[in-house]
Chain A
C-alpha cells in the first residue's frame, strides 16, 4: 500500500484512518486476533474512536510489522538496561518516517529559519534510536551546514554560536530532558532570545525527579530565555510521528496523528475532556506496524484536541486488606 495518502489534506482523517485500520487488520495477525477477541472488525466500526488500541507492550513482546522484517530493514529499539526486553519498531519505508518528520515539524515551526543543535549522543553510537535518527535527518538536510550534534559533556561552542548568529538563523536546541539539564547545569550560556529549546522528555531517568515546570524554568534560566521558549516534543520508539508543545505545555498534533485519553479501567472508552487517563495514539504514519497504540502515559485533553502529558500512569491499588473511610 502506498502510504502517501495519509498526508493528503484533501482526504478527511476518518477515511484515512479506516483505510489504515482495514489494512492492518488484514496484514497484522496479532492486531487482528486482538480486534476479533474484542468483537471489533473494520465492517463493524462506526466511528474512529471504536478502533481498539493495542497496548504498547506489543512492540516488546511480538513482531509488530505487516511486512516480514528483513536483515537490513531499518529497526528502532527502545532504550533499556542490559537484560531488559526492549521494544522493536520495524520501518520498511524510511521515506515515510522522513515525510512524517519533516511535514510534522513544518506544521508548527518555520524550520527553514532554524539551525538544529542536538545535545544527544551521535547517530553512529545509537543507530537504533528513533530520536537520534530523526535528529540526524534534520541535521543532514540543513543546507547551511551549521546544524550538528553537540558533544556530550562539552559546552556549546562559542564559535558555533557566532556562526549561527552571522547566518541570521535561529537556534532549535534538541535534547532529552536529562541531557539538557546536565548541559544547563554544567555549561549555562546565553542563547539568542529567539532560540527555542525542544526537550523530548525523559525526566524519569534523571538522577532526580523534576516536574516539567521546574525543568522548563531551569533550562530557560540557564540559557537566558523566556520560559515560553522552552518547548516539548512527544514521541516514542513505537511512533513515526511527533506532537509538539510550545511554552504552554499543551501538545498539538499534525493531521495524521490523533491522541485520545482512555479510561484506565476500560481502555476501549475515552474519558471526557479535562479528565485524566491513559494516552492513546492513532499514528497513521505507522502504516506498516500498528497505528493504534495504548501507552502507559498519563494525560489529559482539552475539547480542541490539545493534550498534556503528566508522567507515567500509576494505578491506585485497592487490593488486599484496606481500611477505607467511606466504605468501612
Chain B
C-alpha cells in the first residue's frame, strides 16, 4: 500500500531537546505513517508521518509528552517526545517500543489464535477483555478519550496484558483546551456518530464505551462482530447501517430487527446473564442518552465471571461459563469442524483424528447431481436455411433451367425442319445427350459437398463438446473422488484395527516373556508351599519343575503320584506371583524397537489421514469446478448446438 517513497523517510530526525537521532529498521506500517526503530535506543520507537504534522498536531504531541504518568506508561505506548526534521518541520514522535505483543485481532480469530496464542483458552480471552477495560478506564479517568478505538489499536502479550497503541490520535484536554481526534473506524463507531465527520466532533467516554463493547464482544465471541448477522430482510445490511439502526444480531430483540446470529457462531448465552445485560445496554439505540456500560463496569463484571468458569469434561482446552448445562465449545466444534482453542497434541498420537467428524464433512459435500440435460439438436427442429443455402438453391434452379433450355434446343429441328427420319432421330439423340451433359454440368458446378462437409464437421464438433460437457459438468469426477475417499477410509479403519491388534499382541508377548523371567526367579524350594517337603523338591526338579515358571499344567501332569493338594498349592502359588507381577508392571515401559515399529505404523496412519484431508479438499474443489463448468461451458455448448442445427437445416434445404 502507501509504502512511503524512500525520499520521504528522513535518515536523521531531531527530538524536542535538539538531540539528533537516526532511524533504524521499519517495524510497521499504518495509515498515517510508519514506525521505525531508533538507533541506540532499544526501548524506543519512532512514528514518522508521511506528511509533516500540522502545528496543532505538533502541539498536541508536546502536551501529551507532558501528561505522562507511570500508570499510563504501563498500559499505553504514550508519546514521549516530538520528532522533527533537521529543518525544524515536525514529522513524528517518539514512543516506547512494545515488544512481544500482538494485535488483538490475532487473538480473537480462532484461526490466528491457534498459531499466535497457543494455549489461550476462554479464561485467557476473558482476562484480556478485562485488562482492556481497565486500560480504557485508566485513560478515561485521566480525562482522555481513545476516540479511534479499533482492532489494530490494542496489542496483547502472551500473559494477557494489553498495551494501547496509536495514542497520538487520542482526544486529550490540557489547560482547558481540547485536542480532537479526526479519525475513526466505522465498525467501532457508535450509532450517534455514524456517517459524521470526526474532525469537528468532541468525543466522550460514552462514545468509547461503544467501541470497547464491540472489542470485548469480538474477543469473547470468537471474532464475530456484534452487528454482523444474517439479515433476513431484503437487500444488504452493512455493519454501519446495522449499528445505526440498533440491529444487535445476538440480542434478545434480534428477531424483531430481522437479524439472525450467523450459523456456527456462539449464542449470547455463553456469557453470564450479567455480561449479556451489559452487551444489550451497550448496543441498544437508547443508550446514546442513558449511557452505555463504562469501562470500569466492564472490568468488574468480567472479573466476576472468572470465578464462574468450568472446565469441559471431554476437552481440557474448553473452559466455559458454569451456568450452562453443557460445554458450548464442544457443540460448536462438532458443528463446524473448527478447533476453537489450540489443544496440546502430544506427538505420535493419532487419536486426535476424529474419523466420524471427518466423515460427516465428506458427506456434507453435496453431490453435484447429473449434468443438466442438453437439448437434443433434433428437438430444436429446423431453423430457416442460411442465405448461402438459399442462394445456392436459387442458383442451381437457374442453372437447371438453362440446362433444360439448352438441351431442348435441338427439339424444334426434330419437329419442324424437313430432314429425313434418320436425321430427326439424330437430333432427338443429340437433345437427350445434351440434356444429360447439361445435367451433369449443373451437378458439378452446384456441388453440395461443402454443405455436407460443414454438417459433418458441426456434428463432430457438437459430439466433442457434448463429451467435454459430460466430463466437466457431469458427476463422474466427483463420484470417482468419493470412491477414492471411501477406499482411503477403509484403509484407515484397517490400519487402526491392525494397530489395535498389534498393540494387544505386543502386550501379550511383552508381558509373557517378562512374566516368565519374573517367575523364573522363584525356586519352588524357596516358595514355602505347604505339603512340599524336602525330598519332593528334587523329584519335581527331575521332571523339569524348578521355578514358578515351570509350574504349567502339562509339566505337572507328567509328574507321577503328585498329590492334588500339592499340585493345587503350586498352581495357587504361581497365580499369586502372576498377580503380583501384573500389579508391578501395570504400566510397563516400551522398548526402543517397539517404539520404532509403533512409530512406523503411526506414520502410515498419518499418511492416510493427510490423504483423507487433502482428498476432502479435492472433493470440495471438484464439486465447485463441476458447478462452475455448468455455467462457463454453457455458451460453448449452445454455440456448437446452434451451428449444427443450422448446417443440418442447410443441408436439408439444398438436398443431398
**Are chains A and B native binding partners rather than an unrelated pairing?**
no
Interface residues of B (CB under 8 A from A): none
Interface residues of A (CB under 8 A from B): none
